Amino acid sequence: MVEYIAVGVIAGVASGFFGIGGGTIVVPLLLLLGEPIKFAIGLSAMQMTFSSFYGTWLNSRRGLVSPRAFWQLGVGGVLGAIIGAWLLDIVNPVTVGWIFSAMMAFALVKTVLAHPEPAAKARPSGWIFLTIGLMIGVLSGLVGVGGGFLLVPILVGLLGLPLKNAVAIGLYFVMFVGSAAFVTLAVLGYVDFIKGLLLAGGSLLGVRLGIWIAARTTAARHKKLVVVLYVILLAVMLEKLIRGEV
C-alpha cells in the first residue's frame, strides 16, 4: 500500500510541475513493482484523471489556463484516447513499450530545441488544436499516458506559448484524455480499483506541491528539469525493453 501511495505522490508532483498526467512516471515505476504493462497503463489512467482535474482547478485559479480557450484540444484528445485504448487490446505489449519510448524520445528532442519563453506568435485555429489533440490522444490512450509531455513541447516549440502556460494547458489536456482512457480501460478490465485509489490519493497530495514548486521556478530551470526527467524515464523504459521485461 505504501509503495502505491508513494508512486502516486511522485506522479502528482510531476503532474503539477511538468504539466503531465503522471503516466510517464507511473508506468515505469509500476513495471518495477511487477505490474504487467497493460494493468500499469490502466492504473496510470485512473491516477492521471484525479490529478489532472485537481491540478487544472488550481492552475485556473492562478490564471494560467482558460478552459474555454482550448476546448478543441480536449475534444480531440477524448476521441483519440478512446481509439488508442481500444487498440491497446490488440497490440503486442512489446510494441506498446517501443511506442512509449519513441514518444518520450520525440518529446525530449522538442524540449531541448524549444525556447522556454518564446516570442508570442499568432494563435492557431481551433482545427489545428483539434488535430493535435486527436493525434496525441490516440498515442496517449495506447500507451497509458496523458499526453501532456508531448503537448507541452509542441505548444512551446511549435506554437510559441510560454513554458508555464504550456504546462498548465498540458495538465488541462490530460484531464480529458485521462478520463476517456480510464473509462475505456476500466471497461476492458485493465484497472485494479483498489490500487488505483491508492495512487490517486497520493497524486492529489503531490499535484498541489508540484504546482507550488513550479510557481517558484524560473522558465530556464524549468526546461532543464523537464529534459532531465525525460532522459531518466526513457532510459528506464529502454532498459526494460532490452532486457525483455515488458
- Asked if residues 98 and 157 have their Cβ atoms less than 8 Å apart, the reply is no
Q: Report which residue type is found at 212.
A: W
Task: Tell me how far apart the 2 most distant CA atoms of the chain are, in Å.
Answer: 48
Residue 22 has pLDDT above 80, yes or no: no
This prediction's pTM: 0.77
Selection from 77, 129, 98, 70 nearest residue 240 by Cα: 98
Residue with cell 498548465: 168
pLDDT the model gives residue 235: 87
Grade residue 20 by pLDDT with cuts at 50, 70 and 90: confident
pLDDT at 73 over 80: yes
Average pLDDT for 222-244:
83
Q: What is the pLDDT of residues 2-13, one digit of tens each?
A: 899 999 999 899
- Rounded Cα gap, residues 91 and 97, in angstroms: 10
Residues 129-165 pLDDT 10s: 899 889 888 877 776 666 777 788 888 877 778 888 8
What is the pLDDT at residue 54?
A: 92
Local confidence band at 42 (pLDDT 50, 70, 90 cut-offs): confident
Task: Report how far residue 170's alpha carbon sits from residue 168's, in angstroms, rounded to the nearest whole number.
Answer: 5
What number of other Cβ atoms are within 10 A of residue 160's Cβ?
A: 17
pLDDT at 245 (0 to 100):
65
A 10 A CB-CB count for 98 gives 16
